[in-house]
Structure 1
Amino acid sequence: MERKQFELGDVVQMKKQHPCGTNEMEIIRMGMDIRIKCVGCKHSVLIPRAKFEKNLKKVLRSKADQTTEEGNPGESGSV
């Protein structure tokens, strides 16, 4: 089975939802443990990498995609 690719700043969907009702989390720290922050209530949790990879469903928004959309100089509209 292929390992899921994720990096710092990505918004991911977890298998189980947070008690506030959302299952979207933002990755804010990576290492042996991963700190994720709930998009809904901003609560952060530190979990082991193995448990995070097991409970990760998919990457919703990648940080790399967000930076390329913001960095297009032709769409700024300035003259």
Structure 2
Amino acid sequence: MVFSVGDIVQMKKTHPCGSNQWEILRVGIDFRIKCCGCGHMVMLPRVKFEKNVKKIVSGSKEEK
């Protein structure tokens, strides 16, 4: 899967706030994601992020 900044992804587990959708803020060796429910930001290593992503809900705003 190819991820880019601005993508909204659905994770396998829900966040304690009840949302399971996250916006990608930074892509690289580490991913910075923000919860779409409460706005909490988390940094994850690429391996852990890719393992926990279920699907891409919507593409980035930068796509043509």
TM-score (norm 1): 0.75
Of 40, 43, 68, 2:40 maps to 43
Question: Is the helix fraction higher in 1 or 2?
Answer: 1
For 1:42, the aligned partner's letter is G
Tell me which residue corresponds to 2:5: 8
Which structure has the higher relative contact order (CA within 8 Å, separation 6+)? 2
Question: Is the strand fraction higher in 1 or 2?
Answer: 2
Contact 2:12 2:52 in 1 (8 A): yes
- Give structure 1 stretches of 5+ with no counterpart: 69-79
Aligned residues: 64
1:5-37 CA-to-partner distances (Å, cap 9, x unmatched) read: 221110000000111000000000111100000
Whose Rg is larger? Answer: 1
1:1-79 equivalence runs, <5 A: 4-64=1-61, 68=64
In the TM superposition, structure 1's runs of 4+ consecutive aligned residues that sit over 2 Å from their partners are none
d(CA) in 2 for partners of 1:45, 1:63: 19
d(CA) in 1 for partners of 2:7, 2:50: 14
- Give structure 2 stretches of 5+ with no counterpart: none
TM-score (norm 2): 0.92
RMSD: 1.4
Identity within the alignment, %: 55
